[in-house]
Amino acid sequence: FYTYTNASPAGLPGVTGHHGGFALAMPFGEKLSLGGTVRYMRFSSDASGAIAANVDKGLTFDLGATLRPIQILSIGLVGQGLADRKSIWAPMRIGGGVVLQPIADLSLAFDVTVSFTTWDPNRGNPTSFMGGGEYLFARRVALRAGGGRDGLWENGYVTGGISALSEMGAVDFGFRSDVSGDLRGTYIGVSLRLFVPAP
């Protein structure tokens, strides 16, 4: 995967970033899966007023596990940024979540994350809460909606997205828009995925 970031918030330094890596997950029976990600990031911010220009870069990794005790319920636990870069662009945090699939094409999810990396050491460990749902139409188009509270930025937000799926790959579009907090933003993401058949 690869992500390019460019942001120019009013009154704050502009940021340009590159973030890429690879992920691998393996099932162990029908109830447990383990996975990991190795990723490299390089984010540079411009000088603004009393804030000096800065470059954050380096390797980090993530680890996760998914347990499916019954067919309609999945429980996940993940550690992100476990090689701590001391950067808000690759925060070290842990998270957990549950996904309920009451019918084949509907998924409902709830997640909690706790961050150990912030720009202000007096803020402690910000906690974020997220929830949402996805419905798959004719196994070709997925619609998503949700929202939550971002503990790192102290914002409430709403999200939405749509994916077009085929046997070969998928095209995804998503957005997040802050609806409360002092520093609000709208974020848009587009991704292309290629599915590689297992040998």
Dist CA 160 CA 183 (whole Å): 20
Between the ranges 47-51, 139-143, 183-187, where is the mean pLDDT highest?
139-143
Average of per-residue pLDDT across 31-60: 84
Are 86 and 117 spatial neighbours (Cβ–Cβ below 8 Å)? Answer: yes
Alpha carbon 72 to its chain centroid, in Å, reads 23
Count of CA atoms in the C-beta half-sphere (13 A) of 117: 16
Give one word for 152, left, alpha or beta, with left for phi > 0 and alpha for psi -120 to 50. Answer: alpha
What pTM, to 2 d.p., does this model score? 0.74
Cα distances (Å, whole numbers) of residue 90 to 40, 109, 162: 9, 24, 26
Q: pLDDT tens for residues 97-123? A: 999 999 989 999 999 999 887 666 677
